Amino acid sequence: MPDVWAAFPDLDAAMQERLAGVLETRGADPQQRKMRETFLADVPFPNDARVLEVGCGTGVTTRTIALRPNVGTVVGVDVAPFLLNKARDLAQGLHNVTFREADGRSLPFEAETFDVVVFDTTLTHVPGPERALAEALRVLGTGKMPYPVPWAASRTSCLRTGRRLSHVASSHPALSFRALS
């Protein structure tokens, strides 16, 4: 079965609207909110942090990050213009948030632009996730690591993705993947 999220830009407008609603419903779920807050509580945001969320969808996590202490700016990127338009509408009033169309495997940012990079359930949907992780490492400042969040993906897809990423992770000893139970 094809991954609907990997093919999102190719879906018809009605299906895109429906799936955008699913993202917001899931984002508002109390258990999902608690998991997101638990995860973000462990991310060491430096003062005035520059944060990138790769695969931001409708911006649920981007908006949450924007409200965290020490966060200066947050950029959410996604390959789906429809989701980015929804994200912009939902983030009105958050002046430290911007959204940009981009593929996580080829980010349009200079090296060492960000202090923190977050993947919220993104890597399991990206063909060639090792390229997205390598790009995250490139745009991060020296000595920093990306924060992949795998909780919404199936155990099987996380294990499969983890195996594909192992060679990238092995070249960066500080890199670790934290799964929430």
Q: Is residue 40 part of a domain?
A: no
10 part of a folded domain: no
Strands laid side by side in the 116-120 sheet: 97-101, 71-78, 49-54, 116-120, 147-149
Asked if the structure places residue 138 within a domain, the reply is yes
The answer to whether residue 25 sits within a structural domain is no
Query: What pLDDT was estimated at residue 1?
Result: 61
For position 157, what pLDDT does the model report? Answer: 36
Q: Which residues contact 31 (CB under 8 A, 6 or more apart)?
A: none
pLDDT of residue 126: 85
Output the CA angle 120-29-150, nearest 5 degrees: 25
What is the pLDDT, as a whole number, of residue 10? Answer: 86
pLDDT at 155: 34
Alpha-carbon distance of 125 to 17, in angstroms, equals 19
Residue 131's domain spans which residues?
A: 47-170
Q: Residue 137 belongs to a domain with what CATH number?
A: 3.40.50.150
pLDDT in tens, 114-138: 999 988 888 888 888 889 888 988 9
Residue 152 lies in a domain: yes
Q: Which of 169, 62, 54 is nearest to 122 (CA)?
A: 54
Report which secondary-structure segment, H or E, holds 139.
helix 129-139
DSSP class of residue 181 equals -
Tokens coding 129: 């996730």
The answer to whether residue 120 sits within a structural domain is yes
Q: Give the pLDDT of residue 149.
A: 55
- Say if CB 172 and CB 137 are below 8 A apart: yes
The predicted pLDDT at position 50 comes to 93
Q: What angle do CA 61, 66, 71 make, to 5 degrees?
A: 125
In a domain, 127, yes or no: yes
> pLDDT tens per residue, the chain (181 residues)?
677 887 888 889 999 899 899 889 888 999 988 988 888 888 888 999 999 999 999 999 999 999 999 999 999 999 999 999 999 999 999 999 999 999 999 999 999 999 999 888 888 888 888 898 889 889 987 766 666 654 333 333 333 444 444 444 554 444 444 433 2
- Count: domains in the chain: 1
Q: What are the DSSP calls for 81-136, one per residue?
A: HHHHHHHHHHTTT-TTEEEEE-BTTB--S-TT-BSEEEEES-GGGSSSHHHHHHHH
Domain assignment present for residue 134? The answer is yes
